[in-house]
Structure 1
Amino acid sequence: MPWCTRAEIREVSNDAQKIHDDIRHGRLIIHAHADDNGTTVAVGTYRDSGKSVYLHGENHLRQIADTFGSPAQALTSFERFHGDTMRPGPAPLTDSERAAAEARASLGTRDTEPEPPAQAPEMVPAYAADAGDHDAILDQFLAAHGDWEKWRTFTDDTTHAIHESQTLRIERVHETHPRETAWTVAAYETSVSDRMWHLTATGTIPAPVLQTLKHHLADGDGWDTAIGSPSNEKTVTTATKPLTDAGWKHTIDGRWIRWTNPSEDAGIQFDAFAAQQPNSTLATWTIWAGPSIDHPTWTVTASPYTPSSLMADVSETLAHETGTRRPHTAGAARRTSLVASPPAAPAVAAGPATSRSR
Structure 2
Amino acid sequence: MAVGTYLDSGKSVYLHGENHLRQVAETFDSPAQALVSFERFHGDTMRPGPAPMTDTERAAAKAPTSLGTPTAEPEPPAPGPEIVPAYAAYAGDHDTILDAHGDWEKSRTWSHDTTHAIHESQTLRIEQVHEAHPHETAWTVAAYETPVSDRMWHLTATGATPAPVLQTLLHHLAEGDRWDTAVGAAVDEKSVTAATKPLTDAGWKHTVDGRWIRSTSPAEEAGVQFDAFTAQKPNSTLATWTVWAGPSLNHPTWTLTASPHTPSSLLADLAENVAHGTGTARPTPLRTSTARASAPRHQPPLQQRPGIRLPAPADRR
Q: 2:168 aligns with which of 212, 218, 235?
A: 212
Give the direction of change, closer, same or farther, for the CA distance of 1:337–1:125 in structure 2 (3 Å limit): farther
Q: 2:36 aligns with which of 49, 58, 64?
A: 49
CA distance in 1, matches of 2:15, 2:299: 30
User: Are 2:16 and 1:29 equivalent residues in the alignment?
Assistant: no
Residues 230 and 278 of structure 1 are in contact (CA less than 8 Å); yes or no, is this contact kept in structure 2? Answer: no
The aligned amino acid for 2:27 is: G
Query: Which entry has the higher C-alpha Rg, 1 or 2?
Result: 2
Identity of aligned residues (%): 64
2:185 is matched with 229
- Structure 1 length-normalised TM: 0.65
CA distance in 1, matches of 2:147, 2:38: 32
The CA deviation at 1:179 is 1.2
The runs of at least 4 aligned residues of structure 1 exceeding 6 Å deviation read 334-337
User: Are 2:252 and 1:301 equivalent residues in the alignment?
Assistant: no
CA distance in 2, matches of 1:163, 1:137: 15
User: Are 2:98 and 1:135 equivalent residues in the alignment?
Assistant: no
State the SS of the aligned residue for 1:137.
helix
Which blocks of at least 5 consecutive residues in structure 1 are unaligned? 1-22, 33-40, 53-67, 72-116, 353-358
1:183 is matched with 139
The aligned amino acid for 2:13 is: I
The aligned amino acid for 1:310 is: L
2:124 is matched with 168
CA distance in 1, matches of 2:234, 2:284: 41
User: Are 2:289 and 1:342 equivalent residues in the alignment?
Assistant: no
User: Are 2:89 and 1:126 equivalent residues in the alignment?
Assistant: no
The aligned amino acid for 1:29 is: V
Alignment of 1:105-116 (within 5 A): none
Superposed CA deviations along residues 282-315 of structure 1, whole A, max 9, x for unmatched, are 1000000000011101100000100000000001
Residues 126 and 318 of structure 1 are in contact (CA less than 8 Å); yes or no, is this contact kept in structure 2? Answer: yes
1:92 is matched with none
CA distance in 2, matches of 1:163, 1:157: 20
Superposed CA deviations along residues 109-140 of structure 1, whole A, max 9, x for unmatched, are xxxxxxxx975321111101101111001000
- Structure 2 length-normalised TM: 0.73
CA distance in 2, matches of 1:286, 1:259: 11
Number of residues of Structure 1 aligned to a counterpart in Structure 2 = 255
State the SS of the aligned residue for 2:36.
coil
Give the direction of change, closer, same or farther, for the CA distance of 1:211–1:336 in structure 2 (3 Å limit): farther
Give the direction of change, closer, same or farther, for the CA distance of 1:69–1:262 in structure 2 (3 Å limit): closer
CA distance in 2, matches of 1:275, 1:336: 45
The CA deviation at 1:155 is 1.3
State the SS of the aligned residue for 1:161.
strand
Residues 179 and 265 of structure 2 are in contact (CA less than 8 Å); yes or no, is this contact kept in structure 1? Answer: no
Superposed CA deviations along residues 263-284 of structure 1, whole A, max 9, x for unmatched, are 0010000000010110010100
Give the direction of change, closer, same or farther, for the CA distance of 1:266–1:308 in structure 2 (3 Å limit): same
CA distance in 2, matches of 1:139, 1:329: 26
User: Are 2:114 and 1:152 equivalent residues in the alignment?
Assistant: no
State the SS of the aligned residue for 2:139.
strand
Residues 226 and 307 of structure 1 are in contact (CA less than 8 Å); yes or no, is this contact kept in structure 2? Answer: no
Which blocks of at least 5 consecutive residues in structure 2 are unaligned? 1-7, 17-23, 44-76, 289-296
The aligned amino acid for 1:266 is: A
The aligned amino acid for 1:166 is: Q
Alignment of 1:224-303 (within 5 A): 224-303=180-259
Over aligned residues, Cα RMSD in angstroms?
Answer: 3.0
CA distance in 2, matches of 1:252, 1:350: 35
State the SS of the aligned residue for 2:224.
strand
